[in-house]
Amino acid sequence: MQDSEDQLKAAELFHLAYTHQMKGELEQAIELYKQSIALAPTAEAHTFLGWTYSFQNRYDEAIAECRRAIQVDPNFGNPYNDIGAYLIEQGQFTEAIPWLEQATLASRYESYCFPHYNLGRVYEKLRQWGKAVQSYRKSLEHNAGYGLAKKALFRLQSQLN
């Protein structure tokens, strides 16, 4: 019985943390995510704690939380994409590729457009234009309305013509 109570309380704390995060109240969000994790660790709570750290440019801590998320649930795609995105922010483009590729293969992920878009960003930085175009197109196959991918593809195709 205690486990289900802990899980319910952890879920409440997670949602409250998310609310604070979206308001920009990052320290409160961090504390609430940590409390949620202490009660019932989930891949989502670790990933969102990492995301909160990234808002503070604390990328190493964000990556560490994503690695914990993967340990909890290796099928959850978000932390793979997030690690890739944080590595991009640190200028580690080549290192980001395997993480982003893994996100595209994750069995539990709702937004495959994001890792494909991020792969496009990486390939653009590496001046691999064909792979960048292909990645942006793949992102749009998963979400035809994804504006960032549309803009990137249009911009890149304009430069290449």
Helix (H) or strand (E) holding 56: none
pTM metric for this prediction = 0.93
Q: How many CA atoms lie within 13 A of 111 on its CB side?
A: 12
Closest to 117 measured CA to CA, from 130, 129, 96, 100: 100
What is the predicted pLDDT for the residue at 161? 78
Neighbours of 127 (CB within 10 A): 8
Residue 83 backbone class (left: φ over 0; alpha: ψ -120 to 50; beta: rest) = alpha
CATH topology of domain 1-110: 1.25.40
- Spatial CB neighbours of 125, under 8 Å, sequence gap ≥ 6: 88, 93
**Three-class SS state of 134:** helix
Token reading at 158: 């304009």
Residue 145, CA distances (Å) to 40, 109, 114, 116, 142 in order: 35, 18, 12, 14, 9
Contact 141, 109 (CB under 8 A): no
- Spatial CB neighbours of 29, under 8 Å, sequence gap ≥ 6: 17, 18, 20, 21, 52
Tell me how far apart the terminal alpha carbons of the chain are, to the nearest angstrom. Answer: 64
Question: Distance between CA 85 and CA 74 in Å, rounded?
Answer: 18
Q: What is the pLDDT along the chain (161 residues), one digit of tens a residue?
A: 468 898 999 999 999 999 999 999 999 999 999 999 999 999 999 999 999 999 999 999 999 999 999 999 999 999 999 999 999 999 999 999 999 999 999 999 989 999 999 999 999 999 999 999 999 999 999 999 999 999 999 999 999 87
What is the predicted pLDDT for the residue at 2? 61
Write out the residue limits of the CATH 1.25.40.10 domain(s) in the chain: 1-110
